[in-house]
Each structure stands twice: as C-alpha cells, then as structure tokens.
Amino acid sequence: MRNAPTILHLDMDAFFASAEQASKPSLRGKAVIVGGLGPRGVVATASYEARVFGVHSAMPMAQARRLAPNAAYLVPRFGFYRSISDQVMGLLRELSPLVEPLSLDEAFVDLEAGGTAWDEASARLAGAKLRADIRAVTGLTGSVGLAASKMLAKIASEQAKPDGLVLIEPGTERALLGPMSVRTLPGVGPATGDHLRRAGITTVDEIAEAGEDELVRLLGKAHGHALYAMALAHDERPVVAERGTKSVSVEDTYDVDIHDRVRVGLEVRRLADRCVRRLRGAGLSGRTIVLKVRRYDFSTLTRSETLRGPTDDPAVVREAAARLLDSVDTTGGVRLLGVGVSGLADYTQEDLFAQAQAQAQAQGQGQALGEREDQGVEQGGTEAAEERQQAGPVERRWPAGHDVTHAEYGHGWVQGSGLGRVTVRFETPDSSEPGRVRTFRADDVDLEPADPLPLVARRPGGGGGGGSDGGGAASAGTGVTPAASG
C-alpha cells in the first residue's frame, strides 16, 4: 500500500434525483424519488430530502409511497444521466489515465499515475479542484474520498457525503477502521455479516482480534485471507482503467404476469431489438445470446446460445432468443424477461448458418401465426408495430418526469398522465422560478417528447462555465439532511 493518499474515489450525491432537481426548478429542495413506478417497481435513487422519511435505493416503490406520499415520483431518464456521467468521467480523465468507473456516478482515480498528486497537500488540492469543476460543468455535486488504497478512499467518500471531501492520512487507517461495522469492508454483505455476528464478530477490530486462522475457518481460505488483510487496512488492489464491458442486456418487469405465450414471444422480440440498439450504440457485437425469464413463483431461468461468430444483426438476435424461449415453460406466468448479448467484440462476423436457420424459422412461424394477423402480429414486423404503439394517438405514453415540448408553451416535463390526459409543468433548468402547469389531451398534436436540456448553459466561445447558472443548479442535491448517506 502506498504511503500517500493519492487514490481518489468520487461518488456523485444522490445522482439521479439530484439531476432531476437541477433540471426542474419546482423540485429543488423537495423530496424526489426516481425508479420504476409500477406495482413491482423499486427505488433507483432518493434525494436527501426523501431519505429523511426512510426512503432508500432498492426499496420497493410501494413502500416508498407509504413512507413519503407527497414526494415527486419520476421515471428514470438514463440517456440524460449518461450524458452527465460522460462529462464527469471526462473531468476525471484529465486528472489521470487510470480511471476505473464503477457505475454512472462513481469511479476510482489514481492521481499519482497522472502526476496530479504525490503527497497529502497536492491530493487535497486535486480533490477540491475536481469538485469545483464538476459543479461548474454539470451543476451537480460530488463527494470525494482520498486515501492510500481503494478501500479507504471509498470509505472516505462515504464519510464526505453529501458534497464534501475527506482525506484519510496514511498511518491513521487502523484507528479509523477499528470501531466500524464489519459491513464497512468490501465483500461483507448481509449473509457474511450475519455469519460473523453469530461468531461474535461485529466490528473491524474484532476481525483483527479473531485472527487469520479463525477467519479462514469461518469463511473459507480465499475470503478469510482477504477479509483479514482488509481489517488490517491492507489493500493492494490497483486502479484498473476502463474495465471492459462483458455484456449488454435489457430487461423488463411486468406489473401483471404475462400468461399468453404469443405475448411472451413478442416481448422477447422487442427486448432483443432494444438490446441490439444498445449494442450498436456502443459499437460492439457479440457471440452469445442470453435469455432471462423470471416466472410467477420468482424462479429465474437463464438460457444461452453461442453463435459461430459475433453479430449485431437484430434478426439473428431475435431468432436466437426465440429459440431459447422454446425451451422454457411459461405456462404459470412470467413477471420478468430479459435479453442479453455477451462474448463481445468490436467487429462483426455474421453467422451465416444462424441467419439461414433464422430465416427458415421465420417462414415457418409466419405460417403458424397467420391466423393471428388480425392482432397485428407479423413476422419481421415487430419494430413497425412497436413504433405504431408509441406514435399512435391512443398508445402514446408520457412517463412522469420525462421531457416534452409544446408548440405554444415550449419546453416542460410530465408531472403525470392517465385517463387520456397528460399534465405538464413548463420550466427549464435555468428558469428563475417554478413554471406553470397545464393539462392536455394525451393525443394533443402540439405536444411532443423532447430531449433533455443541459443543466448548465453553454456560454459563447465554448466551455461549461459555472457562475450563477452552475450555482443555481447545484443548490439542489447538496442535501438538507447531513445525517443522510449515499
């Protein structure tokens, strides 16, 4: 382990919720919960104002609504969050070539490798500058931890939340870790934590006192050795730049179990098309097609098929997923479906045999489904059918929180929809006060989905720019409850 705190861990503060607050002036300083809004939805992120009520990520949305009935509940805008993440990761790469992203809002940086920091003073200066740059470019805040190892840097960023910086001085690690819960250490989840608790071990100090042999006896050789080393503040894991994507996948959880086999097949085709769009967007292709099915009784099955070569052809992926579905019994009902592609490559070598087989199957299935064409089910026409569903006046969907534009009133976001109506609040990130609310017919031709607006106005001559624009947006999400975490 190095002798200077030159490993930085950045964690954006309540990222999804803070981004929504910054883009919607009417929600700043208020409880905001982002996640799936259906009966089986879960919380992705809760603002610090919502955490006061006990709401946290991964909580069932129904429970969150009971705890915070007056909060704003929004559907995630992942494309928007990804664009902000790209800006943040760009700032990190200016600090060092060794940046290890963990998610859209979290990453490790080796400051020493970039020559940005070499001692405590230079590390603190780099961390402070990064926080200021993030605020200026995105209007949001992030918490920074600095330490001599990855484990301690992450612990420091947790202590820094929200909107702070904590540096752990080399030599103080053991004293800091000692009284902490065993759950603080990487790799100690609920099951391992309970196992250690039953053995009378609840703190990091007690792990060190138990000794390596006892840890190996309790947890096995690999886990026991690693946990004992971490309890002594030993963590030699390097920052690994740009860990390669191992797979690309999409999945949907359905509010009501799907029993109709034809509907299940259509959902799998739709997911396959979405997966391929994501695959192509990343400039990748893959050899292994994976189908995930969670049935009515929560049993989860996965099936996979490996092609002769990597592909990004939607027809090949669709038909492979359909073949995998044939081996799964869905008669009891399906609550979740997913399609993924692994064995990734940055080139395509089409599997001609698989394509020929797919075409043959498509012809046979087209004949078998001929009697159902009155339902709009046609082989090779799934994409067109989906577009009709999204664009048709009856089927238009208006997810809560998503951006829209109106021919007369301009840019706004959906507050809610239902019963053929959609309610919109018209405001932008730089609005000086909450915007006006209006309700329209869901099929109003003057109302259209829109792309998100940047949180910080771009100034003439280029560059992000902070000032009043950045400061106003950043005021949301810094948190009004210092006791909250995450």
Q: Which residues are annotated as a binding site?
A: 11, 105
pLDDT in tens, 84-94: 999 999 999 99
pLDDT bin (cut points 50, 70, 90) of residue 484 is very low
- Where does CATH 1.10.150.20 sit in the chain? 180-231
The residue among 263, 257, 267, 260 whose CA lies nearest residue 294 is 257
Q: Quick one: CATH architecture of 247-377?
A: 2-Layer Sandwich (3.30)
- Where does CATH 3.30.70.270 sit in the chain? 1-140+150-179+459-486
pLDDT bin (cut points 50, 70, 90) of residue 59 is very high
Q: Which residues are annotated as a binding site for Mg(2+)?
A: 11, 105
- Where does CATH 3.30.1490.100 sit in the chain? 247-377
pTM above 0.75, yes or no: no
At residue 126, the pLDDT reads 96
Which listed CATH number (3.90.1150.10, 3.40.800.20, 3.40.190.80, 3.30.70.270) goes with 1-140+150-179+459-486?
A: 3.30.70.270
At residue 219, the pLDDT reads 86
Strand, helix or coil for residue 88? helix
Q: What one-character DSSP code corresponds to residue 408?
A: T
CB 104 within 8 A of CB 19: no
pLDDT bin (cut points 50, 70, 90) of residue 3 is confident
**Whether 106 is catalytic:** yes
Q: What is the CATH number of domain 180-231?
A: 1.10.150.20
pLDDT bin (cut points 50, 70, 90) of residue 75 is very high
Whether pLDDT at 460 is above 60: no
Give burial (CB, 10 Å; 0-12/13-18/19+) of 311. Answer: buried
198-202, 347-351, 424-428: segment of lowest average pLDDT: 347-351
From the candidates 106, 112, 173, 319, give the one annotated as an active-site residue: 106
Q: What is the mean pLDDT of the chain?
A: 83
Strand, helix or coil for residue 73? strand
At residue 223, the pLDDT reads 84
